[in-house]
Chain A
Amino acid sequence: MRSVPPNEQAANAPTAPQPLMAVRDVYKTYTLKKGQTLKAVDGVSFTIMPGEVLGLVGESGCGKSTLGRCLLRLSDVSAGQIVFEEQNITHLPERTLRALRPRMQMVFQDSYASLNPRRRIGDLLAEPLRVHRTPEGTRRNSATIAHRLTELMELVSLPHTALERYPHEFSGGQRQRINIARALVLAPRLIVADEPVSALDVSVQAQIVNLFADLQKHLGLTYVFIAHDLAVVRQISTRVAVMYLGVIVELGETDTVLHNAAHPYTIALTQAVPRPVVGAARPAPLRGEIPSPVNKPSGCRFHTRCPAVQPRCQNEAPALRQIAPGHEVACHYPVLK
């Protein structure tokens, strides 16, 4: 059972907000050498409304980054459908896709690897402006480009002189600001941020998350914010999707997921967030490692580690179902308060 995207209910009402992106039953399967298949993304559906920040959390290897790449068609999906601005982009050829690129961008995790070490920042940021024509179909002249770069440096709070420098001359946080500036160059509507702060110092993390939040407010952006840390996602997301082994196990408003989690996995995650309280009881951590995505457990993916496992869980995979308005859980025995 799959949630019905809001736009299908209101298809005839032109004033109703359309989702910016709709993801329907997306699979991403890799074929390994020994004929095995790795289902990195194993049937994921959700929608993103304009102006929303969807936090995507899960352990390493749960497929969240792969999903993020699929959303922007940086990886091809194996099955399913991705609709962006009411256009099905699932199988668009690269050439056609290029015209859509200005409206959907990505911020990568590794701020150093994602900047070409041999090009100056100004050159890197100007590249998309040189490649793409304006919406009116004209090429941008160098004055327009210089003006836009100045604007961007102000947006991400970097000195104008940074444009003359090379990536290795910056700290991790500054480089991530440059990456954000580059994603913003073409004024996108959707930004997929793939663990943009997990490689940074904690103090810098907060600055970058705040920058994301400010930009979102000022520019009316929509984010898919990928993280493995609920504490980071909490600050910025309007909704949170929790992934486990390629599937979404819980999806809902940030407050609901954090405080009224219904899936045992989400509950374990929320309890794992360190709390600044002296003597706070430390909950029992989850047992074991995340199973290999090549050899997934039968039934519910989580049953091998679930503290409340029942016999049914070993054979029957739970579908994502609505347990409250806007709150979906994939569990046979959700914890209801």
Chain B
Amino acid sequence: MMTKPSDTPRPSAGPWASALRSLLRNRSALASFAVLALIVLACLCAPFYAHHIAHTDPFVSNVAGTIVLNGQETDIMQPNDNPLHLGLSPIGPTGSTTYLLGADSQGRDIMARLLYGGRNSLLISFSAAVLCLVMAGVVGISAGFFGGITDMVLSRLMDIMWAVPVYLFAISLSIVTITSGLRIGPFVIEADNLLIPIVIIALVYVPYAARPVRGRVIALRQAEFVTAAKCLGVPRWRIVLRDILPNVSTTLVVMGPLLMAMALLAESALSFLSIGVQAPAASWGTIILDGEGLIYTRPMVAIAPGLAIVAVVLALNILGDGLRDALDVRDTSRRE
């Protein structure tokens, strides 16, 4: 008798594993992931850069300081000869390790502040996106699966939030909390705590994420495998966790990067309006605000954080597209 081919073929890849494999074949998604990883890594190295490369404290004003440029001692704040902009203007890009991208109007190193600001911007947008997905998941699944009065209440609530322009909503909430912080019973969140922008941004985007989740769950609730689970006597909460959630998780994961991109823009907008991250802490939005007054003389102050935002938002969008293609459940049956 001939030798039989192996009885135990390799275990089949799960949906996540095959999605990862298809994502790894997607070059533009990989490239954007590399860009994101680079930016995150650089931001994580912010203290190292400030103390060991630039040798400055990016949170302390340095209006009277000097810097050695081309062997000459130069004032960081220099007289402004532009008739429209009287007074002092900070140095522009220097190209040396100190003040690589020049200084802002308080004589602080832009590059160091950019890295520190990136930490806050990325932390806030990432946390806000995750928090938003969790809330949207709970709201969308509850509304979609339980239907009836639960759906009515939740959907109307989402509609009301939807009706308010998202930035206006975020600005209103920020203005309320910025003066006194947030008091929830015995818990007090100080006004300068990053949790405040995180919660606000997550909250205003919940309707945008919850609605597609609800739609997907309504379709899934009528799926025959849910009826089959019911017929097998599986309790409802277990159906939600084991049958509904895994099928909705792709929807949530695909929304993740796009939501983070929107959250980053919202955070920058709030910080630009000085109702997001509070001075002396930095975020890309606050640096743009610093650069607003210097736009004619030292445009790099506003351009550098602007470019950082554009790079991250673009990379997140491409990554999100790649994820959507990789996780498209409809294709799994055809892929292999």
Contacts and interface: CB of A to CB of B under 8 A. Distances in A.
A99 B233 CA distance: 7
Q: Which one of B7, B236, B333 has the highest number of Cβ atoms from chain A below 10 Å of its Cβ?
A: B333
For chain A, give the interface size range: 35 or more
A116 B243 CA distance: 7
A127 B242 CA distance: 9
Given A108-B224, A118-B15, A164-B12, A128 B232 contact: yes
Contacts of B232: 101, 105, 127-128, 131, 182, 185-186
Interface in B217-242: 223-225, 227-236, 238, 242
Contacts of A94: 236
Contacts of A116: 225, 229, 242-243, 246-247
B83 interface: no
A127 B329 CA distance: 22
A192 B235 CA distance: 21
A97 B329 CA distance: 33
B71 interface: no
Contacts of A185: 232
Contacts of B225: 113-116
B58 to A, nearest CB: 47
B148 interface: no
B9 interface: yes
A114 B12 contact: no
25 contacts: A72-B231, A97-B233, A98-B233, A98-B235, A101-B231, A108-B224, A113-B223, A114-B224, A115-B228, A116-B225, A117-B247, A117-B332, A118-B247, A119-B243, A119-B246, A128-B234, A131-B232, A131-B238, A132-B233, A161-B9, A165-B12, A166-B332, A169-B12, A182-B228, A186-B232
Interface of A: 72, 74, 94, 97-99, 101-102, 105-106, 108, 110, 113-120, 127-128, 131-132, 159, 161, 164-166, 168-169, 179, 182, 185-186
Interface of B: 7-9, 11-12, 14-15, 223-225, 227-236, 238, 242-243, 246-247, 329, 332-333
Given A72-B231, A117-B247, A119-B242, 17 more contacts: A94-B236, A99-B233, A101-B233, A105-B232, A106-B231, A108-B228, A110-B224, A114-B228, A116-B243, A118-B15, A119-B243, A119-B246, A128-B233, A159-B7, A164-B11, A166-B14, A185-B232
